[in-house]
Structure 1
């Protein structure tokens, strides 16, 4: 940072306007990518999934809560864990304020984890979150959408994740899956994204990308998000 070039305001404006053209081009590319995403084909959900939630037993269809679109955040929280994943907690801190706006655009958003409902509710209360969170402990939802892995996969050292084979140090992973329900009540899987595909929905990261130090020294850490703590665990 000490070697950053210092110039006049006039020079800065010219360079900034040149960079703005790149930003505009990126925005247009992103708009096209989003259109392409919406035009991807769908897969009918044939299997019935029943979840444990604050309203009791609910099917995937019921989780739409009368809307036609459902976003599921696959939150890493295994059945034998007492706390949710630190990184997923970082993402979940972005949910509360957004969901009311999503609801008014015909979108329901929830989190799903393998941990039991009482454990999820306790952690949710600790974190001060209000979003709906259901347990998939008694169904195959996490396995089918490639965010939970078997003991054999872990022992083998590889798993199918993010549409490819990767190393498997953990039995849980994070992601987002999107579903649509038509007027006949049929449910379709329309999209899933994993790993860095989730960057786009983390507003804190988007702000970090605006400042001189960016995301800090993530490349020097044991893994990129080693710095993240649960929001009640930072030492100020």
Structure 2
């Protein structure tokens, strides 16, 4: 953590501090009302029927997208950056995934299933999952077009072009990666029809990362010079600097 820049906050009396805090509270309440408005608009977003068949490689064998719901009506898929030629998962996605296990019981009892999906092979996923000591469901989309269809994986041909389409816009291919992160939501009705209801990319899923939300309330905040520059995999903080990998999500 870089603390070289000493904080320059004013030091005030308790009464003066309270006045400044109340001004911030008004801004925080405005943020909360806007957040509620955004969430309502998100729930009201139109849906798209999913007619394409996908079969994912899982520890229990091949499973369809419908199977991933595990008997529930709602499915959240985290698009975890882990390509088929990678030796380990993305640092930023690993940070996100550190927050999943504690949510599972609550999500599942609220009729929501959470699954991570990567284009890496199941063998790669299982080995890395064991290293990280994670329990959440994580499956491979290696043999499907799923990642490409939901714009989180890109072909060599796309990467050699001028632009790729990510986060609902065209961006220079030179600024992207073959694998990028995201979060997608799906609904399955009683007839078994599946609908894509929402996707978010880049910093969109950031609110899911509770550690960042806590850091935002600490005196020095995230203390980063670029997005998550402080980050390491949770088993790498005690490693020597030359053994620590930077986040592929930066």
Any stretches of 5+ residues in structure 2 without a counterpart?
1-5, 240-250
- Equivalents in 2 of 1:121, 1:104: separation in Å? 26
- Equivalents in 1 of 2:224, 2:52: separation in Å? 44
The CA deviation string for residues 208-229 of structure 1, in whole angstroms up to 9 with x for no partner, is: 111121111324xxxx233311
Contact 2:49 2:193 in 1 (8 A): yes
Deviation at 1:153, TM superposition (A): 1.3
Deviation at 1:2, TM superposition (A): 4.2
In structure 2, the residue matched to 1:83 is 88
Partner of 1:177: helix, strand, or coil? strand
- Equivalents in 1 of 2:193, 2:224: separation in Å? 47
**1:214 equivalenced with 2:217 (yes/no):** no
**More displaced 10-residue stretch of structure 1: 148-157 or 118-127:** 148-157
Number of residues paired by the alignment?
A: 232
Contact 2:224 2:230 in 1 (8 A): no
Aligned ranges 1:75-154 → 2 under 5 Å? 75-154=80-159
The CA deviation string for residues 15-71 of structure 1, in whole angstroms up to 9 with x for no partner, is: 212211111111111011100000000000010000011221100001000100000
Choose which of 24, 46, 71 in structure 1 pairs with 2:76: 71
**1:52 equivalenced with 2:54 (yes/no):** no
In structure 1, the residue matched to 2:244 is none
- Equivalents in 2 of 1:2, 1:32: separation in Å? 34
Which runs of at least 4 in structure 1 moved beyond 6 Å after TM superposition? none
In structure 2, the residue matched to 1:225 is 228
**More displaced 10-residue stretch of structure 1: 2-11 or 22-31:** 2-11
In structure 2, the residue matched to 1:17 is 22
TM-score (norm 1): 0.95
The CA deviation string for residues 165-214 of structure 1, in whole angstroms up to 9 with x for no partner, is: 11334210000000000000000000000001011111111111111211
Deviation at 1:158, TM superposition (A): 2.3
Partner of 1:61: helix, strand, or coil? helix
Deviation at 1:157, TM superposition (A): 4.4
**1:193 equivalenced with 2:200 (yes/no):** yes
Aligned ranges 1:23-42 → 2 under 5 Å? 23-42=28-47
- Equivalents in 2 of 1:217, 1:225: separation in Å? 6
| Counterparts in 2 of 1:65 and 1:14: CA distance versus 1, 3 Å | same
- Equivalents in 2 of 1:88, 1:60: separation in Å? 22
Deviation at 1:10, TM superposition (A): 1.7
Partner of 2:204: helix, strand, or coil? helix
Contact 2:47 2:196 in 1 (8 A): yes
**1:202 equivalenced with 2:209 (yes/no):** yes
